[in-house]
Chain A
Amino acid sequence: MRLRYCLLASTIVACALAQPAVSAPWTRGFVVRDYGFAFRYGGRPGVAETAPAADCARGSATHFNDEAEMRTALSRQPWRSSREIEAIIAPPGIEKARLPTYVRFYVWGRAVSYRGWRKGIETYVNPFAAHDPGQPQVVSRISDGFDLDGNPKTGGFTSAEGVRGIDNALYRAWGCDAPFRNPASGTLDLRENTQMQEGLYTVVIRISGNQDPRNDSDATVEIGYSPDKIVRDARANVAPDYSYRIVKSEQYTRLKAKIRNGVVETEQVDRLHVPRIGWFPDQMGDADFHKGRLSLTIAADGRAASGFVGGYRKWLDLLAENTFAQTGAEQGIRDHEDAVGLYYALKRNADGMTDPKTGHNTGISMAYRIAAVPAHVVDPAKPAQVRRLPADEERNKGFETVKAAMIRAVTTRTVQDVPLGTGEGQFPAMEKTIADLPSRDFFLKTFDAPGRLDDQGNVVPLAPDAKPDRQVNINGPATVASGNAR
């Protein structure tokens, strides 16, 4: 018999008061309504995503925010003339263009996409070949997440409940990145949850045991995708008590757990697969935590659950998922983040999954926060798959291609061209946009591009470099623990 029936039935008293726990199989399901990086916001609620606070002493990152920020970013390339920089900042004759704002957006975008130590290096595929623009880091000592290595002396964070040695290096690295800083207003955090609730994807959790849902020494936790869209109620909140199938795709994980007073703690496993966060279809996929754990606190009445799932993730995967959601430039200019800064911040803070050959840490400790409402999580009656539209497949292929190029570039330290036809390698989007710009020729001549146009106007790849760059050494400034240099 299902637990909820037991509670609802006229035998409620017998059920609730029986001590010790009634030995009966029970199941509780939840659908995730809030999913995002476990970045503890240090400011007052409802105020700012950018203001200085306990987490970020100098506020959020402000890359590409205005003309001054742009000038700073472009001045880091020794090969750019000041004339070029000024032309980029204010393209001559822009007032004559029909879409001046798009002209500028695309010109800025192309400029920030080529910030290598020499001309011709696409920055988002080759972040290692660009100067570190700096990334403000979290200075707070309190963090959400887990002590993943079982060592209270590492990690450098203490949880709000007083657990020492919390490993959440991603928070330190990225916690001051503007679009993820405050769950109430951070653009990408909001966008991610809005898209999820509107049906981009659904994450469900099922907890079961044989003792008592609040105290069970031998419980099981399952987490994975559901092919069923989240149902929202008349007030647009995620509606409770709806049924969702759980599919045993690659992102499905089953864990042993212990429950004490409603707090569910799973075992720590070598590989913990869960759906990752995203706001575009091509970001959907596997989070693949190493040394993963999950912890959830269930409300006494069973009507809510909140907690974390975490572990170490390959930090290059995280970089790719965030950068290539659209293009590095688009996301950077819109959301004031610099993927180069994020790259160096990850590299500095990487704290796990050490490569035995190189001795480098390929992983970074992190967690996702979870808030969920009660649901009926059921096994599919017929085989079911995670939703994906045919149109998404093409985008996903592009994402995987450009991600592979970036990983190849960073791991071999060999400059890679941008694969054409991918989001990052979109061409000639800028060239088309500036067609009616009087200073068009200047930009066409000066700017690097992911490809070139042949005599017939067809897009063709660039000729490969005779001697690929290797072992580039960048002697730029790096900001470690304080705010952005500006």
Chain B
Amino acid sequence: MALPRRTILRGMFQGATAVMAVPFLDCFLDGKGQALAATGQRIPTRFSTFFYGLGLTTSLWVPKKAGLDYETTVQLKPLEPFKKKMNVFSGMRVMVDDNPNFQHWSGNAAIATGIAPTKVSQFDSKTIDQTIADTISRGTRFKSVAAAASGDPKHCYSSLGGANTLPAEPSPLSLYTRLFGPGFQDPSSGAWKPDPQVMLQQSVLSAVTDERKDFMRNLGAGDRARMDQYFTSVRDTELQMAAELQRPDVVAKVAIPAAPGEMPVNYALPNVRAVTPLMARLGALALATDQTRVFNLAISEPGSNIFVPGDPLGYHVTTHMEAIDPVLGYQPHVAQYNIYSMELLASVLQELDAIPEGDGTLLDHSLVFAYSDQSYAKIHAVDGIPIMLAGGASGRMKTGYHIAGGGNAVSRVGLTAMKAMGLSVDSWGKGSMETRNAYTELLA
């Protein structure tokens, strides 16, 4: 393949003068292409998060039946079109151990990190999207991109740990500008730069391969066969890296639209409803054109202040103020707000599913991790926070299931998601939530 060598070398390290022997470059790039061609189309698997505040109403959302073909409940109704493409997790527990249960914080922080936070508004480790991005975002322009549908850049629950969160784009226009404004390279037309890190890793592997002859000496036949397998494994990893050095195949047929105009972005539900799918569409285009592989969208903060115009209380205050209806047995206005959250999630999934890609859609090649901060917001309960995993992760996630968690740690969902994303991780979480136990029945 024809790559402008000088460009690559200059671009490899920020500001450093790169002087490199030409044969080195050859070994990076040439000779790998053929092996690569055999692997065929490479559609990357993408990861997204969807955060919604204040949970759902247990009696209205948890299906009675577990496993496949569970009944569609009142609050899962908006998600019915995607039922076969997603899994829902009920009864998962957040175990705070010796830490306090911080209202509107412990739940979402624990789901995002597997660790009960020791301080309010802080994460005790990298959040799951960043851990996944470390592995899957090599070579993309943005390691991750975040958007906040009610207009506050702080509404992003993506963090490298500590109190800082990665700022979210607070409007469709700013999101558009970041993704498709200056610096945007359409990978199907513009120049594309391989990740220099990958090249270095690759030459390390070559050096391992070079030990082969020496190491094989004096081995018995059985051990020879074992080492053949070992060096085949080394070779497989080399090929995988070679694939990462190739320009990704943008197979989705998408066109980048014109920039959206200014529009009100705040907590008023009609605005959130207009902004959320628009942000999701821009995010989906960024994923489809491989600008990034991780997209985080929050419709509000935990303890959501979203409100229906005319409702003097809004979502959060209503969860606390509204009495349980004597006949219905739940808080009717809260239940309606819950449904709005699910409708917004459905609108995001709709955008991902609308982009055809290879033999499926962008959603099929994605994993969307949707979660909240409380299970029963009225009393700040965290047991049974509703969690959803949508999308097939390029076939690695089986879908259509309701997993009745039965008191298992929420970290099992995160571990399952990471494994579906192809991460090499054996355990996740801390304290009582440390788990080595993914939902392997969901992993294909």
Q: B307 touching A101 by the CB < 8 A rule?
A: yes
The residues in B between 340 and 383 inclusive whose CB is less than 8 angstroms from any CB of A are: 378-383
Interface residue? B66 (CB, 8 A): no
B:82-102 near A, CB below 8 Å: 93, 96-98, 100-101
B96, chain A: closest CB distance, angstroms: 6
What is the size, in residues, of chain A's interface with B at 8 Å between Cβ atoms? 39
**Are B98 and A334 in contact, CB atoms less than 8 angstroms apart?**
no
Of B307, B316, B324, B406, the contact of A185 (CB 8 Å cutoff): B324
A334–B307 touching, CB < 8 Å: no
Cross-chain contact of A333 among B98, B321, B323, B324 (Cβ < 8 A):
B321
Contact B314 A187 (CB under 8 A): no
A-B contact count (CB 8 A): 88
Contact A334 B326 (CB under 8 A): no
**Which of chain A's residues has its CB closest to B93's CB?**
A236
Q: Mark A227-267, 1 if CB is under 8 A from B, else 0.
A: 00100011110000000000000000000000000000000
Q: Could you tell me the distance between the alpha carbons of A341 and B311 in the complex, rounded to whole angstroms? A: 27
Which among A45-53, A311-319, A417-425 touches the partner chain? A45-53
Is A104 a contact of B312 with CB atoms below 8 Å? yes
Structural contact, A235 and B313, CB atoms closer than 8 A = no
A78 contacts the other chain (CB 8 A): no
Q: Mark A39-66, 1 if CB is under 8 A from B, else 0.
A: 0000000111111000000011010010
Chain A 429-462 interface 0/1 with B at a Cβ cutoff of 8 Å (1 = within) = 0000000000000000000000000000000000
CB within 8 A of A334: which of B93, B267, B320, B406?
B320
* B321 partner, pick from A95, A199, A334, A389, beta carbons under 8 A: A334
Say whether A187 contacts B96, CB under 8 Å: no
CB-CB < 8 A to B312: which residues of A?
67, 90, 101, 104
Write out the residue numbers on chain B whose beta carbons fall within 8 Å of the beta carbon of A102: 305, 314, 317
- Please pick, from B327, B329, B382, B407, the residue contacting A235 in the complex, using a CB distance under 8 A: B407
A408 within 8 A of B: no
Question: Would you list which residues of chain B between 298 and 346 have a CB under 8 Å from chain A?
Answer: 305, 307, 309, 311-317, 320-321, 323-327, 329
Query: Given the complex, which residues of B lie within 8 Å of A194, measured CB to CB?
Result: 379-381
A185 to B376, CA, bound (A): 11
A272 to B317 CA separation, bound complex (whole angstroms): 39
Residue-by-residue, is A331-342 near B (CB-CB < 8 Å gives 1, otherwise 0)? Answer: 001111000000
Report the minimal beta-carbon distance from B57 to chain A, rounded to whole angstroms: 13
Minimum CB–CB distance from B18 to chain A (whole Å) comes to: 49
A26 within 8 A of B: no
| Bound: A267/B314 CA distance, A | 52
**Known A-B contacts A101-B316, A102-B305, A199-B98; A178 and B323 likewise in contact (beta carbons under 8 Å):** yes
Residues in A whose Cβ lies below 8 Å from that of B320: 187, 334-335
Q: Is B266 an interface residue (CB 8 A)?
A: yes
List of A residues within 8 angstroms of B383 by Cβ: 236
Q: How far is the CB of B62 from chain A (nearest CB, A)?
A: 14
C-alpha gap A49/B316 in the complex (Å): 20
Q: Is the C-beta of A119 less than 8 angstroms from some C-beta in chain B?
A: no
Q: Are B329 and A336 in contact (CB under 8 A)?
A: no
Cross-chain contact A235 with B98 (CB below 8 angstroms)? no
Q: Judge whether A236 and B407 touch: CB under 8 Å.
A: yes
Q: For chain B residues 377-404, which have a beta carbon within 8 Å of chain A?
A: 378-383
Q: How far is the CA of A236 from the CA of B96 in the complex (A)?
A: 12
Contact B379 A48 (CB under 8 A): no
Give chain B residues whose Cβ lies under 8 Å from the Cβ of A101.
267, 305, 307, 311-317
Chain A positions within 8 Å of B311 at CB level? 101
Q: How far is the CA of A194 from the CA of B101 in the complex (A)?
A: 10
The interface residues of chain B lying within 8 Å CB-to-CB of A67 are 312
Cα separation A314 to B206 with both chains bound (whole Å): 80
Q: Is A160 an interface residue (CB 8 A)?
A: no
Contact of A48 among B307, B325, B382 (CB under 8 A): B325
Contact A187 B379 (CB under 8 A): yes
Q: Is the CB of B329 within 8 A of A98?
A: no
Contact B326 A51 (CB under 8 A): yes
**A65 to B97 Cα, complex, angstroms:** 36
Q: Given A99-B267, A234-B406: A198 and B305 within 8 A (CB)? A: no
At the interface, yes or no: A100 with Cβ under 8 Å from chain B? yes
Residue of chain B at shortest CB distance from A59? B326
Q: Determine whether the beta carbon of B313 is less than 8 Å from that of A48.
A: no
When chains A and B are docked, how far (Å) is the Cα of A47 from the Cα of B327?
7
Q: Using Cβ atoms and an 8 Å threshold, which residues of chain B touch A233?
A: 407
Inside 8 A of A49's CB, which chain B residues have their CB? 323-324
Instruction: Please state if B379 and A191 are interface contacts (CB–CB under 8 Å).
Output: yes
A182-199 contact mask (Cβ, 8 Å, vs B): 1 or 0: 000101001100110011
User: Which residues of chain A come closer than 8 Å to B325, judged between CB atoms?
Assistant: 48
| Contact yes or no, B101 A198, CB < 8 A | yes
Set of chain B residues within 8 Å of A46, measured between Cβ atoms: 329
Taking the complex as formed, is A105 at the interface, i.e. its CB lies under 8 A from any CB of chain B?
yes
| Distance A15 CA – B171 CA, assembled complex (angstroms) | 74
Q: Which residue of chain B has the shortest Cβ distance to A199 in the bound complex?
A: B96
**CB-CB < 8 A to A104: which residues of B?**
312-313
Residues of B within 8 A of A229 (CB): 97-98
What's the minimum C-beta distance from A391 to chain B, rounded to whole angstroms?
Answer: 9
C-alpha gap A340/B284 in the complex (Å) = 55
A279: nearest residue on chain B (CB-CB)?
Answer: B379
Q: Give me the interface of A with B, judged by CB distance under 8 Å.
A: 46-51, 59-60, 62, 65, 67, 90, 95, 98-102, 104-105, 178, 185, 187, 190-191, 194-195, 198-199, 229, 233-236, 333-336, 389
Chosen A-B contacts, 7 in total, with CB atoms closer than 8 Å, are A50-B323, A62-B323, A105-B313, A185-B324, A187-B320, A191-B380, A335-B321
- B binding-site residues for A, Cβ under 8 Å: 93, 96-98, 100-101, 266-267, 305, 307, 309, 311-317, 320-321, 323-327, 329, 378-383, 406-408
Beyond known contacts A101-B311, A187-B379, A199-B96: 11 more, CB 8 A cutoff: A47-B327, A48-B329, A50-B323, A95-B309, A101-B305, A101-B314, A190-B379, A194-B379, A195-B101, A198-B101, A389-B100
